[in-house]
Amino acid sequence: METFMTSLDMAGEVDPPSPGEEPGRRILDLVLEPKGRIALELDKGQTLRITDLDGQQVADLICFARDDLSEKLSPNVSVMLKGNIYVSTGDLLYSVDARPLLRIGRDTVGRHDLLAGSCCRGLNRLRYGPAAESQANCRDNLAAAMAPYGVPLREIPYPFNVFMNVPVAADGDIAVAEPLSKSGDFVDLIAERDVVIAISNCPQERNACNGFAATRLGLTVFSAE
């Protein structure tokens, strides 16, 4: 797939869990380079493991029902049905029609984000000046990843930000803090139906989102048990 920006020979640098701990047979194992993007398809029951290879790296993730790309993962619906802004093991991520698309399996971090959206041209211009408008950003990354599916930029939904750390204060203030994820931490996402997932390996280096440095992510797909 042309949207891959990966190097397969770098996969496996992190000590993998012993096979007995894995949710299925490995059917895809790759490294998403810093600032890279990818789209991939999961069948119902398959698991996508996202590993933070170098620590403090966010994955902006969007997800679509494969039989109807207009039914996409909704952070808002997921927050309302959980009754909490944070999700982890056992929680479901729902579509705009309140149907489960993904379930969170093992999660060695426990802090992800459903509020902050994606870095994009407009936010970079407002926050960091005109020169920042053309820098790599998640929204453009996700649109490029979904282009082969015919999903245009304006239809790219708000993401589930894996490993992103957005603390919320009692008065409602939010902040972008450095992720809690360390090298080797991972989260498993289990497909609740056939889906298309796109991931932007967040390129933002101007704030604490990725600890001020864009680094690699590991992606592993396991077969359904």
Residues between 136 and 195 that touch Zn ion (CB under 5 A): 138
Nearest approach in angstroms of CB 42 to Zn ion is 22
Residue with tokens 């990725």: 210
Q: Number of residues interacting with Zn ion: please give it, by CB under 5 A.
A: 4
Query: Can you tell me which of 31, 119, 162, 166 binds Zn ion, judged by CB under 5 A?
Result: 119
Residues between 186 and 215 that touch Zn ion (CB under 5 A): 202, 204
Does 61 help bind Zn ion (rule: CB under 5 A)? no
Residues 6+ apart with CB under 8 A from 95: 65, 71, 72, 73, 74, 77, 101
Beta strands per DSSP E along 19-90: 26-32, 37-42, 47-52, 59-65, 68-72
Collapsing DSSP states into helix, strand and coil, what is residue 2? coil
Q: Which CB atom, from 104 or from 119, has the smaller least distance to Zn ion?
A: 119
Q: Which CB atom, from 46 or from 161, has the smaller least distance to Zn ion?
A: 161
Q: Which segment (24-32, 92-100, 117-125, 169-177) binds Zn ion by CB under 5 A?
A: 117-125
Q: Which CB atom, from 117 or from 184, has the smaller least distance to Zn ion?
A: 117
CA 137 to chain centre: 14
| Cα–Cα nearest to 62, from 146, 185, 181 | 146
Give contact residues for Zn ion (rule: CB under 5 A). Answer: 119, 138, 202, 204
